[in-house]
Chains A and B, each alone.
Chain A
Amino acid sequence: MSARIGVVTFPGSLDDRDALRAVRAAGGEPVALWHGHHDLRDVDAVVLPGGFSYGDYLRAGAIARFAPVMTEVIAAAQRGLPVLGICNGFQVLCESHLLPGALIRNAGLHFTCLDQRLRVDNASTAWTGEFGQGQQIAIPLKNGEGQYVADEHVLDELEGSGRVVFRYLDGNPNGSRRDIAGICNERGNVVGLMPHPEHAIDPLTGPGTDGLGVFGSVLKTLVAT
C-alpha cells in the first residue's frame, strides 16, 4: 500500500489540485484535507499548497496558521510527521513558527513567474532524500512575496546546521537573504520552499520532471521508517 499524502485546501488555496496530482504522479495516495476540520485523516505526510489562503489578508499565511487543521498539523509536525510547505504553504509554516524567518515582498516589487534553477543544499531531509547533495534542478517559481528574511544569527544557524535546503542559482529572483529558496526544521521533517515542485512533474506542462523528486523523496522516507 502506498503512503497517504494529505494536501490541505484553505479558502484561497490555488495549487492544491496540482499538489494532489504530483503526489499521484510520484506513486503516493493523494488525500484531500479541509482547513476547517480537526482531522488529518490518518495521512503519513502533509503538503500545505500554494495560493492566497484567506486572500493573504493581514499577511500571507497569517490567518491560515489559525485554521483548525493547523492545530493538528503543528502537533503532528512536532511529533515528526513530514510536512512540506510550498510557496503560500512555506509562508504558513513560518507564521506557525514551525520554520524560522519570514517571507516579504519580492525585492523587485512585482509578482514573478519563471523557471528557476536551484541547488539542493541538503539532500537528507524527509523531502529531498532522492536528490544528490548539490544537485541542480529547475522548477517554476511564482509569487509576489518570496523574499526570505531572518535575523543574521538565525541565518548563520541555518547555514551552520545545514538547514538551507534549496538555494537560488543564476541570480536571486526576489532578494532572499543568502539566496535561500527553502529551509527545514532541525529534525528535517518540515521543509518549506518558495518554488513549486508540483509544477515540474511533466515536461509537457513544466520545465521538466525535477519536482517529482520532492514527492518521491517523502515516499522513500516513509517506506524507510
Chain B
Amino acid sequence: MTAPDPAVSSVDTVEAASSDPDRLQPFAELGLKDDEYERIKHILGRRPTDTELAMYSVMWSEHCSYKSSKVHLRQFGTKAPDTDVLLVGMGENAGVVDVGDGLAVTFKVESHNHPSYVEPYQGAATGVGGIVRDILTMGARPIAVMDSLRFGAPEHPDTKRLVAGVVAGVGGYGNCLGLPNIGGEVVFDPTYNGNPLVNALCLGVLRHDDIQLARAEGIGNKVVLLGAKTGRDGIGGASVLASATFNEAGGPSKRPAVQVGDPFTEKLLIECCLELYQRGLVTGIQDLGAAGIACAVSETAAHGVGGMHVDLDAVPLREPSMPPVEVAISESQERMLAIVEPSRVDDVLEACARWGVLATVIGDVTESGRLVISWHGETVVDVPPASLADEGPIYERPIAHPHDLSAVQSDTSGRLARPSSADELRATLLRLAGSANLCSRSWVTEQYDRYVLGGTVLAMPHDAGVVRLADDSDRGVALALDGNGRFARLDPYAGAQLALAEAYRNVAATGSRPLAVTNCLNFGSPEDPEVMWQFAEATRGLADACLELGVPVTGGNVSFYNQTGATAVNPTPVVGVLGVIDDVTRRLPSGFTATGDVVLLLGETDDELDGSEWAWVVHGHLGGRPPRVRLAQERALGRLIADAAAEQLLTGTHDISDGGLAQALVEATLLQGIGVDVALGTDPFIALFSESAARAIVSCQDSDVDQVLELAAEHDVPLMRLGRTGGDALTVADLFEIPIGELRATHAATLPTLFG
C-alpha cells in the first residue's frame, strides 16, 4: 500500500463536491455574480469543483463569453448584406472569404490592450502570436500581419516606454515568424494615457477544401496537444485567480498574469500544423488562447459529438507542481489542440517530432456527452461542454446617453480662428504634416519586415497593404485597418461608419474591390451605461453601414474596460476591410509616380472641420459633429477607381481622410519625391483641411483624362481638376510653395525626435 499523495488529497474532486455540497467557494473573487454561481450549481446538480469553478469563471468572463456585447453583435448577422463570398461566417475562429480561383482568405483583428500596458513587449508580441494562431486554426497559411496602435499623448511620461516596447514586440514576434507587416496605424491622443490600444490583424490564405473546423468529431478519436509545455504564465489574465483558495496548498506564488511569447516555437508549430492539414492527418483543430486547455477542450467538444475525456496528467508541464486548475486554465502560448483518428496518431507524432514540436495524446472523444477531466486518478471536472462554451450568461446592459455629449456637440469648430493669409496656410500645412498623427510612420514601420514571403505588392506608406496570394497567380488581396476615436466620441454611430468608410476607401484606392470586414471594438467599462450607449451606437452604425456598402462582418473582437478610474477612452471601433484585386500588376500606388500627370480631386468638399486633425493640432479642440457619412458616394468612388485601375487609366491615387486634401498631397508628393502644382477653389482653407468623406485624389496621363471623366460621370462621382505633377515642390497656385526637401524633413523628423 502506498501512502496517500498529499497533492491529491488537497485537490477538490467531483466526489468531494458531491459529498461536501455546502462548502463556501470564492466565486465572487473569481468574477462570478451570485446568480451565475447559482446557475452553475443548477447545471451540475451540485457545487462545482475548484477546477470547474475556475473554468466557468474564465469561460463566462466578458473576454470569452461576450456577455455584454452579444446582444449588440447579433446585428452583424441579422443585418448582413446578401453575399456569396463567405465560406465561413462569424462564430468560428475567423471568417473565410472566397476570393476566386479556388482560393480563399481568412483574416481577423484582435486586441491585446491590457497586457501591452503592463508589459509592452510581451503584451504586443503575444497579441500577434494569438491572432496568428486563430488564422492557422482555420486551415490557412498566415501570410501577413497588420497592427493598429494607439498611445497617449507623445509628451506623456509613459508614452515612450509603451511605444518602444509595443513596436519592438509587434516587430519581434512577427519578424521572427516570417510574416510581412503590411500596414496599420499609429495614433497618439491623451485619451489613451494609461490605456494604450494594441490591435493586431492576421491574414491567411487557403484553398476552399483546406478549411479546418474546431470540432471534436468521431467517438474514439484522440485529443492531441501540440506545441509548448504548459506553465504558470498567463494564469489569472482576467484576475480570476486572485483567490486565497488556490493558494492554500502553499505552492509558489502566481507568476505575473502576462503571457510570454516564443515566436520560434510558433514558427515550428505553423509549419507542422500546415503539414498535418495537407496530409489530412487531423479531423479538427483549435488554438489555445484565452482560458487555455479549458477553452479549447470545451469548445471542440461542444461543437463536435459532445463528449470528451481529458487526462491532465499527460499534459507536459514546465512546472510539475501545478495543480489541475492551473493546468486547465494556463494561457501559455504556442499551443494547439488537434483531434486525430487513432490510426493517424503515429503519423502525427512523427511529423511533429520532425518539426521539433512536442505532441502528446491527452484524451479521447467520447459518447458521454460530458467533458470529463481527470488528474491523478480523480475526476476533477465533469460538465456538459456546451454549458462552458456556448451557454454563458448574456446581459442586456443598461444604456444612457452621455451626460456631456450635447454640450460637446454644440461646441463646434466654427468658433476657432482659421488661417487666411498665404503664410498662415503654408505654416498650418507644415505644422500638420509634422504633427504626431500625420507625420511619417517610417520610424515604426522600418522595424517591421515587409518583404519576407515575397508576396508584398504594397505596404506602408501606401493606403492599404496588398499581397499576391500565390507565385503562379496574379490574384491579390488588399487590407486596410482604420479607426478614429475622436469622431466616435462626437458621434459613435457615425464614427464607426466613418472608420469603415475610411478602410473601405483605402482598399478601393489600390484598385481593389472591398469584400468583407473585421472589427476590434475598444471601449470603456460595459457596466457604465454611458459607455454601453456608445457601444450600442457604434455597433448599430457599423452594422448599418456594412449592409449599405455590401461588405459582411466576418468576425472580430470586443475589448471592454479600457479606462483609467472612471474615465473611459474615447470609443474606438477599429475596422479592417479586405478587398480582392484580380491582377496585382494593376494595383495603384498611393502617390505620384510620374511628372506631367494630371491630378484630379474626386468627391465633394464641404466645411467639415469638427473633430479634424486641424482642430486638434492647432487648437486642441474636440467638439461638434464628425463629417457627414456618405456611403453611397464611397461605393461609387470605389467602383470608379476599381474600373479605372482595371483599364490602367490611373498612375496613382491617395484617399483623403485625416488632415484633408493637404495631407493627401503631402503624402502623394513624398512617395517618390515628385512635386505637384495645384489650384484650389474660393476657400483654400476648407479645400486643404476639411475632412469630408468619400474623397480621393487620382493622377493620370493627359491621354487618359477624357476616359476618367467619362467613368466619373458614369459613376456619378463629382470631379475637379486640381493641377499637374512635376517640379521639386508642393505648390498651391497664388498662395505658397514648399520645396520637397523642407516637406520631407518636417514630415520625417517627428517620431525619431520623440522616440528614437
Binding site for B on A (CB under 8 A): 11-12, 14-15, 17-18, 21, 36, 50-52, 54-57, 110-114, 140, 142, 144, 196, 198-199, 204-206
Contact = CB atoms under 8 A, between A and B. Distances in A.
B178 A15 contact: yes
A54 B452 contact: no
Contacts of A198: 454
B79 interface: no
A111 B264 contact: no
A17 B448 contact: no
A16 B454 CA distance: 10
Contacts of A36: 354
Contacts of B264: 11-12, 52, 54-57
A12 B268 contact: yes
Given A14-B178, A14-B452, A142-B449, A110 B168 contact: yes
Q: Which 6 interchain pairs have the tightest Cβ spacing?
A: A55-B264, A14-B178, A199-B451, A18-B454, A52-B176, A142-B449
Interface of B: 168, 171-172, 175-178, 262-265, 267-268, 354-356, 445-457, 468, 471, 584-585
A204 B468 contact: yes
B697 to A, nearest CB: 23
A172 to B, nearest CB: 15
B452 A18 contact: yes
A111 B172 contact: yes
Given A15-B178, A51-B178, A206-B451, A21 B446 contact: no
Contacts of B263: 52, 55
Given A199-B451, A204-B468, A11 B456 contact: no
Contacts, number: 83
B584 A204 contact: yes
A23 B262 CA distance: 31
B465 to A, nearest CB: 12
A15 B450 CA distance: 12
A114 B446 contact: yes
A50 B265 CA distance: 17
Given A14-B178, A114-B446, A204-B468, A196 B451 contact: yes
B368 to A, nearest CB: 39
A112 B178 contact: no
Contacts of B356: 11
Given A11-B355, A15-B452, A55-B176, A110 B584 contact: no
Given A112-B446, A204-B457, A204-B584, A21 B452 contact: no
Contacts of B262: 55
A60 to B, nearest CB: 11
5 contacts: A12-B176, A17-B453, A56-B176, A113-B448, A206-B451
A169 to B, nearest CB: 18
A170 to B, nearest CB: 14
A17 B454 contact: yes
B585 A204 contact: yes
Contacts of A11: 264, 267-268, 355-356
A161 to B, nearest CB: 32
Contacts of B447: 110-113
B203 to A, nearest CB: 16
A53 B151 CA distance: 33
Nearest to B172: A111
Nearest to A50: B452
A140 B171 contact: no
B296 to A, nearest CB: 25
A199 B453 CA distance: 9
A114 B264 CA distance: 23
Given A12-B268, A52-B267, A204-B584, 12 more contacts: A11-B356, A14-B177, A55-B176, A55-B263, A57-B264, A112-B446, A113-B447, A142-B452, A196-B451, A199-B451, A204-B468, A205-B457
B173 to A, nearest CB: 11
B451 A140 contact: yes
Nearest to A22: B454
Nearest to A110: B447
B453 A18 contact: yes
A35 to B, nearest CB: 10
A114 B447 CA distance: 9
A51 B268 CA distance: 13
A167 B236 CA distance: 51
A204 B471 CA distance: 12
B531 to A, nearest CB: 37
Contacts of A142: 175, 449, 451-452
Contact of A113 (B267, B450, B585): B450
Contacts of B456: 205
Contacts of B457: 204-205
Contacts of A15: 178, 452
Contacts of A51: 178
Contacts of A111: 168, 171-172, 175, 447-449
Contacts of B175: 52, 111, 142, 144
Nearest to B167: A110
Nearest to B262: A55
A18 B471 CA distance: 10
B450 A12 contact: no
A205 B449 contact: no
Nearest to B451: A199
A170 B723 CA distance: 33
Nearest to B442: A114
